[in-house]
Every structure is written in C-alpha cells, then in structure tokens.
Amino acid sequence: MIVSRRSFLLDALAYRVRLVSWPQLLTLGPGSTAYARNLRRLLRRLEGSRLIRRLTVLARPAPTIEKPLFRWQPGDNLPPFQAIQYQGEKRNWAPVKAVTVFLGTSRLANVLGGVCGQKLNQNSVTHDLGVTSVYLHLWATDPDLALAWQGEDIVAPSRHRQKLPDAMLFNPAGEPAMAIEFIGDYPTARIVAFHNDCASRALPYEVY
C-alpha cells in the first residue's frame, strides 16, 4: 500500500494515536540523511499550516514492538496475568529523558473530522508513545489491518459503561473485532479487569 508521508501522519494523529515522536517517525523511512531532511521539511510545513504542533516532553523511550505479549479469544483459557504484568514491567528500566513529539491540532480535527487538539496529559506520554509503537508495528506488518484501527479517543463515545481499550480494530461491517491494550505500569488487577470486560463481551484482544 502506497501512502504519502503527509497523509499517513495526518491520518494517524487524527484517528489512530495521540502523538508520535521524532525517533518513531524516523523508523518509517530508510534511515538516510535525505529521509530525515525531507521529514523535517514536511513537519515544518504541517506546523506552518497549523495542522500539527511540536512539543518537547519527558518520557521513557518508546519500546520496539515485535509481537503481542499475549493474545486471547473467546474459548481460550485464563491468561497468565502475573507473567503478562512482569513482561510489561520489564520495559520500565529505561530512564526518562526529553523527547520531541508531534500532535494533531484542533484545526486538523476540523479538516479531517478526527479527534485531536486536546491538552496533552504529561503523565500519560510514555504510555501514549507505547500505543503509537503498537500502531506502527501493525502498519509495518499488516497495513490493511492497521486501517481497521481506531484510537481510544475515537472509540470512547461508543464504550458506555465498558472498559476503554487503547485502540479497537473494527471489521468491515463496523463492528468491534479486537481490543488492543498497551500495558506500562499496570498492576496485575488492572490487566485482570481488562480481560474480564473483554471476556464478558466475547471480544478478542491483544496485550502489548
């Protein structure tokens, strides 16, 4: 699937994720000096058009995602909750450092009809970057499936009295097909609650 960097970035920030870091954007290209230079030009143009904004924040580096920590679907046994929690916790050794991130603006939301432009929650930046890593992994491995991804803020209005996952994959009929959750500093009880909610709705999920 061929999509311009401009279209991909604006779509991602409007519908899929809350923010993306400069290091994450670099992984989308060949890693050459020319790619980085052209990417900087694109970002400056989008900032000048007030479609994105740039911030420097403190966060742990986003993890490299290779596969889910756990997959579950109706009929499967109970997950090994403590083992999942331990795998997620192991990623928290990296120190917090300054990182440049890009967010969609309210103008972008007006143009594309997505959800962006809200005030950044500094306490959730590390988690949000982790969610972005999951989305970029899915885009790299199955871009058609990545197009079924809707971010937490898009999904929120439809999840009345339900746990709100970090993202949801929808089938062609527009029905929820899989919940996506990135676990950071999650206690085991929170993972259990997420599982119980999905199980009560017979909703498959992947935990990263």
Give the residue-averaged pLDDT of 104-117: 93
Q: Are 84 and 72 in contact (CB under 8 A)?
A: no
pLDDT tens figures, 60-95: 999 999 999 999 999 999 999 999 999 999 888 889
Largest CA distance in the chain: 52
Coil/strand/helix, residue 93: helix
Residue 176 has pLDDT above 80, yes or no: yes
pLDDT (0 to 100) of residue 2: 66
Structure tokens at 164: 């709100």
pLDDT (0 to 100) of residue 1: 60
**Of 170, 150, 188, 183, nearest in space to 65 by CA:** 183
